[in-house]
Structure 1
Amino acid sequence: MDASAASGDLEALLRVTSPTYVGESAPDIAFGTHETPAGPLVLAVTARGVIATTFDDEHAMYARIYREVGSFIGHDPKRLDPLRREIDAYFGGRLRTFTLPFDLRLATAFARSVLQMITSVPYGTTTTYAEVAARIGRPQALRAVANAVTENPVCLLVPCHRVVEGPGSPGAYAGGKAAKELLLNMEIA
């Protein structure tokens, strides 16, 4: 599908599902997609920061943001372009740490503690679910940590791909195994 068709689909989705959407007004939540070498990302930005950079289905993420954050959602390139530029710079090897603020309202309180800890994992390194669980003071919560990592709503900005099961076992990733391996290999190269 070409970009204009995708954009038209998004405009139609926004008109139908957001009763307050006005194409020319700046929405409260900027929403769009962005193609990356790891696959398409759904992007959303609020006044607080980036609320989504996710490999989730576009329509499902739109519905979730509509339900959990707000209904005035629309296309706003002015607010999405800085995020797109950082993502492109990351994939181009020119950016190692994202600078944009993020908004973790889509994560549970436990997941927020996990995701905040993950932000300290440096580019080109990995940690394990067990190490993350220990660092947040919940050493027995391996499954909960794995779920928080897999359900990260702000992939890349919060580098959940750097959390692995153990040596030689990358573990699950929202974008799939191939995307996780691509990201890890890109950072190690």
Structure 2
Amino acid sequence: MDNTLFPIDSATLTELKARLAVEAQERGLVDVAYRTIDTPVGPLLLAATEAGLVRVAYEKEDFSAVLDSLASKISPRILKAPRRLDPVAEEIDEYFSGTRLTFDVPLDFSMSSGFRQSVQRYLPHIKYGHTESYKEVAEHVGNPKASRAVGTACATNPLPVVVPCHRVLRSDGSLGGYIGGLEAKTTLLNLENAA
């Protein structure tokens, strides 16, 4: 018997990985599917559970660390399975091309809890092209004195871009912080012509 290893060309390897991803999903072996996409604000990692999109991460967050966090908080059964995230990638492409003003994909907020999750669930109500202050968001979620906690909820938003924490500014109109960096926040606000 010949034990020589035959190298597999990259096209065959890609096809085998795709088949593995499909079979794993069909058998219910994938709890978190992920993929990366290129955008005007840099590469983004997208991750989804059966419930919906659970994580959008900027490259500066370290994709490996993000996947480790998902493994510890959601499930270690994570697989690169781009097809499950095709609808999300399509909506994000439409957003960056200026043809989508709201996202319709289901969201999974299980990476947050309590007040932070309340804030993050409110953020999609800030319309495209508009901004609110941390204080205004605090008032909308029923805790007018929690401006600082709103800032923390925005800073820890697991779904940036899709859940628009970039639309929240300081009371004086300055940017405040942003998980993707101030350049990314500025790019998103300029894309939306936010005022």
State the TM-score, normalizing by the size of structure 2. 0.83
Name the residue aligned to 1:25.
24
Structure 1 counterpart of 2:5: none
Which of 55, 58, 62 in structure 2 is aligned with 1:57? 62
Pairwise CA distance, 1:126: 0.1
Give the one of 78, 82, 86 matched to 2:83. 78
SS in 1 for 2:24: coil
1:73-99 Cα deviation digits (max 9, x unpaired): 001121011111111110000101000
Residue from 122, 125, 128 that aligns with 1:120: 125
Gaps of 5+ in 2: 1-9
CA displacement at 1:164 relative to structure 2:
0.6
| 1-structure distance, mates of 2:42, 2:133 | 24
**Alignment match, 1:143:** 148
Residue in 2 that maps onto 1:158? 163
5+ long unaligned stretches in structure 1 = 12-21
The CA distance in 1 between the partners of 2:163 and 2:50, in whole Å, is 18
1:31·1:80 contact (CA, 8 Å) conserved in 2?
yes
The letter of the residue matching 2:41 is A
* Secondary structure of the structure 2 residue equivalent to 1:171: coil
Divergent runs of 4+, >3 A = none
In the alignment, which of 98, 101, 105 is matched to residue 96 of structure 1?
A: 101
Secondary structure (helix, strand or coil) at the match of 1:54 reads strand
2:116 counterpart residue number: 111
Instruction: Give the fraction of aligned pairs with identical amino acids, expressed as a percent.
Output: 41
Aligned 8 A contact 1:102 1:157 in 2: no
Q: 2:142 and 2:82 mapped to 1: Cα distance?
A: 40
**Secondary structure of 2:64's partner?**
helix
Which amino acid letter does the alignment assign opposite residue 24 of structure 2? S
The farther-off stretch of 63-72 and 53-62 is: 53-62
Aligned-partner residue type, residue 78 of structure 1: R
Answer with 1 or 2: which has the greater Rg.
Answer: 2
C-alpha separation in 2, matches of 1:102 and 1:144: 22
Deviations 1:122-171 (A, max 9, x none): 00000010001111121221211101001100112211100111343011
Q: TM-score, normalised by structure 1?
A: 0.85
Q: Which amino acid aligns with 1:30?
A: A
Could you tell me which of 171, 175, 181 is aligned with 2:180?
Answer: 175
Cα root mean square deviation, aligned: 1.8
